[in-house]
Amino acid sequence: MRTFDLSPLFRSTVGFDHLSRMLDAAARVDEAALSYPPYNIEKLGEDTYRITMAVAGFGAEDIDLTSQDHTLVITGRARKDDGTPVQYLHRGIAGRPFERRFELADFIRVEGASLVDGLLHVDLVREVPEAMKPRTIAIQTKSQPRVIEGKAA
């Protein structure tokens, strides 16, 4: 595994300490957990995104979404059945618990979530505060002295 030294980058930047946390989290990823459940990340517009996750066999009450400190955590735990034993001839639909973490950029917030036909849709929107948006600054110049013409008497 390669090791990257980012200390030169941190010497000339301010406020990017979360980058270090993201890299540490990426290094600790369990490769087996990367494939379940499958998901897509879509860009729907200039400032809108959607995460679509295949969660067949899970109901809305089985899934929890938590957004905190630039991290979206989606966890799923199938509820217990009524206790009736089931004999499977083939079991291909996974029902194991899962946890997916998504690092969100600054000013990205979760707008809503829906569960339709076994697909969990999480809608995200980027809302940049007005103070952070680019603005045009007028340049003032010294104006020429005004000459007021007097009336002839």
Report pLDDT for 129.
Answer: 80
Q: What is the DSSP letter of 88?
A: -
Report the chain's C-alpha Rg in angstroms.
27
* Closest C-alpha among 106, 118, 101 to residue 28: 101
- C-alpha–C-alpha distance, residues 111 and 55, integer Å: 20
Report pLDDT for 113.
Answer: 95
Give whole-number Cα distances, 65 to 61, 86, 112, 139, 150, in Å. Answer: 11, 30, 10, 48, 76
Residue owning tokens 């980012």: 6
Give whole-number Cα distances, 45 to 1, 105, 127, in Å. Answer: 37, 16, 13
Structure pTM? 0.64
Report pLDDT for 120.
Answer: 95
In order along its 153 residues, the chain shows pLDDT tens digits of: 566 666 666 555 555 556 666 666 666 665 555 678 999 999 998 889 999 999 988 889 999 999 988 889 999 997 766 667 778 888 888 778 999 999 888 888 899 999 999 999 999 998 888 777 787 888 888 776 666 666 555
Residue owning tokens 């990205």: 108
Report pLDDT for 125.
Answer: 92
Could you tell me if 39 and 47 are in contact, meaning their C-beta atoms sit under 8 angstroms apart? Answer: no
Domains and their CATH numbers in the chain: 37-81+88-129 (2.60.40.790)
* Closest C-alpha among 78, 43, 34 to residue 58: 78
* Closest C-alpha among 3, 134, 124 to residue 52: 124
Report pLDDT for 13.
Answer: 55
Report pLDDT for 23.
Answer: 66
- C-alpha–C-alpha distance, residues 47 and 124, integer Å: 8
